[in-house]
């Protein structure tokens, strides 16, 4: 029955979707634009896309499901969306944890002041209309009026911009404002229309979007939204695997993110009482994989050693080629990528956090991959280290994103009982990155775990479940869902792996620069998790070296700030290109000392 289709109702979101016979629920949901968490990208090995069929027939449980689902889940009839194949119309319940949750978004950052020098400028014109004795074409008429402005260079423009020109000339009785980029026509407007810019930090998890007035430099509106690509793989490695399974997949990753970006930009423009048409230039920063997804570039070579970028150069791309809604001749600037796993977002962060020459500085941008740079004199070393998704709450027994109800602060009292604080002050339902980091620090400090991360039997709060040691963080009676929230041995190990990877990266950077941690003047910690983490805990678990805490600066979304700076100033773009060009990329996997360092840095 190759052409047979089934109707599936998805609850509680109330979406009805069509499934081709033989397709999995996950594929069908993705095609219908319903976001499901699918950390492994649909390979059936992560267990995050759990759903519960309520009605209808499905294929039998697969071995992968029997492995991933626990007894209670199996008893309740749960399935993995990537494994469940409907054989009739059906109704399926999606638990909240399988939908990308609304999340605490860090989109602000320390904003440097830059001298305004935007790429696009406004020129107002008042023209005589054509008549029988002046039959110049529209473009010739405009070009003649622009002779002084363009110093004789011919006015260039994409067809869409020329089409708009002819229409707006007549619409506005030959009184118009032109947006020009060098001698290229970007857009035509009624006189006095403000020209806007769009800055975007394209994170693997979230997009930070800013609408800026290019004449004043003011940020008119900003917003953070989830990256819809999460449905196709929680981290870039899984998304690359998904993309490489078919040309259509790669296209879908691009289209989904563009759809969300266009929607967000339109909303921000509306808040600024403007139209997306007024966006005459955009700057988009992201890691190399996000950059390639966004620009349709192939990612096969990012999925296998030696992990090279298709393009490392700064790119200037037509918004229309990408599907970004903006003025017809608008372009998107994407700064240089440094390597396959150190992207233009890191370039932007380096730009936004740069300080005066001679200052020695380490920049750490923490995510699933953590990018680290050391700036020391004229030297600039960069690397990427696989810190994993533990700080996003993934791979943690009771982990969750930094959403309402997530434990973000933990203090161990003398009696061994933990006191916890949650986002939004709600009853706890899980633990997010900053919470689990602090929990591990507190447990280590109280001697509940040893330097290898082993939970000490008999210590207060430690118990054994199914023969495995775990620490009871919040008892069922106090939680929002009536189940215990615990820290397991495995959770501690995940944190050891994550912090060990970051620390080892830092140490290799210091070695390259021939300096010690104490020689570094400023430790810049960027990114959402970096903003919320407790520095004391981070130093205590050994994620960061033990230096005075006042040398650390949590700067928030430095990449987003860098994007805004490049939107406002061509000089900033040139500086960003210089920084990326100066960076010596260090591939940690082939660095001789890295493995030993990493093993050592896993200790608590």
If binding is defined by CB under 8 A, does position 138 make contact with its own copies? Answer: yes
If binding is defined by CB under 8 A, does position 378 make contact with its own copies? Answer: no
Nearer to its own copies, 219 or 249 (CB): 249
| # residues near its own copies by CB under 8 A | 47
Determine which residue in the list 33, 56, 64, 130 makes contact with its own copies, applying CB under 8 A: 130
If binding is defined by CB under 8 A, does position 147 make contact with its own copies? Answer: no
Report the distance separating Cα 282 and Cα 58, nearest Å: 46
If binding is defined by CB under 8 A, does position 343 make contact with its own copies? Answer: no
Report the distance separating Cα 459 and Cα 492, nearest Å: 16
Helix (H, G, I), strand (E, B) or coil at 473: strand
Positive or negative torsion for Cα 101, 560, 364, 373: positive
Nearer to its own copies, 87 or 318 (CB): 318
Side-chain-side CA neighbours of 243 within 13 Å: the count stands at 28
Closest distance of CB 288 from its own copies, Å: 9
* Antiparallel, parallel or unpaired: β 196-202 and 279-286: parallel
* Antiparallel, parallel or unpaired: β 90-93 and 5-11: parallel
Report the distance separating Cα 330 and Cα 379, nearest Å: 36
Cβ contact 534:440 at 8 Å: no
Region 564-593 residues binding its own copies, contact defined as CB under 8 A = 585, 587, 590
Choices 30-38, 46-54, 136-144, 230-238; region in contact with its own copies by CB under 8 A: 136-144
Determine which residue in the list 160, 386, 459, 517 makes contact with its own copies, applying CB under 8 A: 160
If binding is defined by CB under 8 A, does position 323 make contact with its own copies? Answer: no
If binding is defined by CB under 8 A, does position 154 make contact with its own copies? Answer: yes
Determine which residue in the list 301, 511, 554, 577 makes contact with its own copies, applying CB under 8 A: 301
The length of the chain is 604
Region 58-87 residues binding its own copies, contact defined as CB under 8 A = none
If binding is defined by CB under 8 A, does position 167 make contact with its own copies? Answer: yes
Element (H, E) at 588: none
If binding is defined by CB under 8 A, does position 300 make contact with its own copies? Answer: yes
Cβ contact 407:435 at 8 Å: yes
If binding is defined by CB under 8 A, does position 255 make contact with its own copies? Answer: no
If binding is defined by CB under 8 A, does position 127 make contact with its own copies? Answer: no
Cβ contact 589:346 at 8 Å: no
Choices 317-325, 463-471, 478-486, 547-555; region in contact with its own copies by CB under 8 A: 317-325
Closest distance of CB 134 from its own copies, Å: 8
Report the distance separating Cα 211 and Cα 268, nearest Å: 7
Determine which residue in the list 170, 483, 490, 600 makes contact with its own copies, applying CB under 8 A: 170
Helix (H, G, I), strand (E, B) or coil at 55: strand
Cβ contact 525:366 at 8 Å: yes
If binding is defined by CB under 8 A, does position 139 make contact with its own copies? Answer: yes
Closest distance of CB 132 from its own copies, Å: 5
Closest distance of CB 347 from its own copies, Å: 14
If binding is defined by CB under 8 A, does position 153 make contact with its own copies? Answer: no
- DSSP secondary structure string for all residues of 188-218: EEETTPPPEEEEEEE-SSEEEEEEEETTT--
Choices 73-81, 99-107, 296-304, 379-387; region in contact with its own copies by CB under 8 A: 296-304
Report the distance separating Cα 483 and Cα 69, nearest Å: 17
Nearer to its own copies, 75 or 132 (CB): 132
Cα radius of gyration rounded to whole Å, the chain: 27
Task: With CA atoms as reference, report the closest residue to 232 among 496, 37, 385.
Answer: 37
Report the distance separating Cα 165 and Cα 186, nearest Å: 10
Give strand pairing partners of 385.
370
Q: Which residue has the tokens 């190759």?
A: 2
If binding is defined by CB under 8 A, does position 186 make contact with its own copies? Answer: no
If binding is defined by CB under 8 A, does position 163 make contact with its own copies? Answer: yes
Q: How many distinct helices (H) and strands (E) make up the chain?
A: 18, 27
If binding is defined by CB under 8 A, does position 322 make contact with its own copies? Answer: yes
Nearer to its own copies, 321 or 546 (CB): 321
Report the distance separating Cα 234 and Cα 228, nearest Å: 10
Report the distance separating Cα 36 and Cα 99, nearest Å: 5
Closest distance of CB 494 from its own copies, Å: 28
Choices 14-22, 198-206, 291-299, 494-502; region in contact with its own copies by CB under 8 A: 291-299
If binding is defined by CB under 8 A, does position 340 make contact with its own copies? Answer: yes
Determine which residue in the list 65, 93, 158, 572 makes contact with its own copies, applying CB under 8 A: 158
Task: With CA atoms as reference, report the closest residue to 150 among 137, 161, 165, 139.
Answer: 139
If binding is defined by CB under 8 A, does position 312 make contact with its own copies? Answer: yes
Determine which residue in the list 3, 132, 192, 378 makes contact with its own copies, applying CB under 8 A: 132
If binding is defined by CB under 8 A, does position 136 make contact with its own copies? Answer: yes
If binding is defined by CB under 8 A, does position 337 make contact with its own copies? Answer: yes
Q: Which residue has the tokens 């903003």?
A: 531
Which residues contact its own copies by CB under 8 A? 130-132, 135-140, 143, 154, 158-160, 162-163, 165-167, 170, 295-298, 300-301, 305-313, 315, 317-318, 320-322, 337, 339-340, 585, 587, 590
């Amino acid at each position: 029955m190759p052409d047979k289709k089934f109707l599936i109702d998805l609850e509680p979101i109330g979406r009805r979707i069509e499934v081709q016979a033989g397709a999995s629920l996950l594929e069908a949901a993705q095609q219908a634009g319903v976001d499901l968490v699918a950390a492994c990208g649909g390979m059936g090995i992560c267990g995050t896309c759990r759903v519960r069929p309520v009605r209808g027939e499905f294929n039998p449980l697969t071995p992968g499901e029997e492995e991933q689902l626990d007894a209670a889940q199996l008893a309740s009839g749960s399935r993995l969306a990537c494994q469940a194949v409907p054989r009739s119309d059906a109704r399926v319940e999606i638990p909240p944890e399988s939908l990308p949750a609304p999340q605490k978004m860090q989109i602000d950052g320390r904003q440097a002041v830059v001298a305004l020098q935007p790429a696009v400028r406004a020129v107002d014109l008042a023209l005589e209309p054509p008549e029988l004795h002046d039959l110049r074409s529209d473009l010739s008429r405009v070009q003649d009026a622009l002779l002084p402005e363009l110093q004789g260079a011919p006015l260039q423009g994409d067809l869409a911009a020329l089409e708009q020109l002819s229409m707006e000339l007549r619409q506005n009785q030959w009184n118009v404002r032109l947006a020009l980029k060098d001698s290229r026509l970007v857009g035509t407007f009624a006189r006095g229309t403000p020209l806007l810019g769009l800055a975007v930090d394209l994170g693997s998890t979230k997009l930070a979007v800013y609408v800026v007035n290019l004449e004043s430099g003011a940020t008119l509106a900003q917003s953070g939204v989830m990256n819809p690509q999460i449905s196709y793989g929680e981290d870039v490695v899984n998304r690359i695997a998904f993309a490489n399974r078919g040309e259509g997949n790669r296209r879908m990753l691009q289209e989904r993110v563009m759809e969300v970006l266009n929607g967000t930009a339109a909303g921000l423009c509306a808040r600024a009482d403007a139209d997306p048409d007024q966006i005459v230039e955009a700057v988009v920063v992201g890691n190399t994989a996000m950059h390639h997804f966004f620009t349709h570039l192939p990612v096969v070579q990012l999925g296998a050693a030696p992990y090279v970028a298709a393009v490392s150069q700064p790119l200037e791309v037509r918004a229309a080629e990408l599907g970004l809604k903006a003025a017809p001749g608008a372009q998107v600037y994407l700064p240089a990528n440094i390597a396959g796993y150190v992207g233009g977002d890191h370039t932007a962060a380096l730009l936004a956090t740069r300080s005066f020459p001679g200052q020695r500085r380490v920049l750490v941008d923490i995510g699933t991959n953590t990018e680290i740079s050391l700036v020391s004199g004229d030297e600039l070393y960069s690397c990427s280290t696989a810190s994993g998704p533990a700080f996003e709450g993934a791979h943690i027994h009771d982990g969750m994103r930094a959403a309402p109800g997530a434990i973000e602060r933990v203090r161990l009292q003398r009696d061994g009982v933990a006191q916890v604080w949650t986002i939004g002050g709600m009853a706890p339902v899980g633990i997010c990155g900053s919470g689990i980091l602090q929990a591990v620090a507190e447990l280590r400090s109280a001697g509940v775990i040893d330097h290898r991360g082993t939970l000490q039997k008999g210590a207060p709060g430690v118990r054994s479940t199914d023969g495995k040691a775990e620490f009871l963080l919040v008892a069922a009676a106090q939680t929002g869902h009536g189940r215990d929230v615990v820290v397991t041995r495995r959770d501690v190990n995940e944190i050891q792996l994550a912090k060990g990877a970051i620390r080892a990266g830092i140490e290799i950077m210091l070695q390259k620069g021939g300096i010690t941690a104490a020689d570094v003047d400023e430790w810049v910690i960027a990114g959402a998790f970096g903003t919320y983490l407790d520095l004391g805990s981070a130093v205590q678990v050994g994620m960061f070296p033990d230096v005075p805490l006042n040398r650390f600066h949590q700067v928030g979304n430095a990449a987003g700030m860098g994007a805004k700076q490049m939107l406002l100033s061509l000089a900033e773009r040139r500086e960003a290109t210089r920084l990326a060009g100066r960076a010596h990329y260090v591939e940690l996997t082939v660095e001789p000392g890295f493995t030993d360092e990493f093993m050592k840095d896993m200790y608590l």
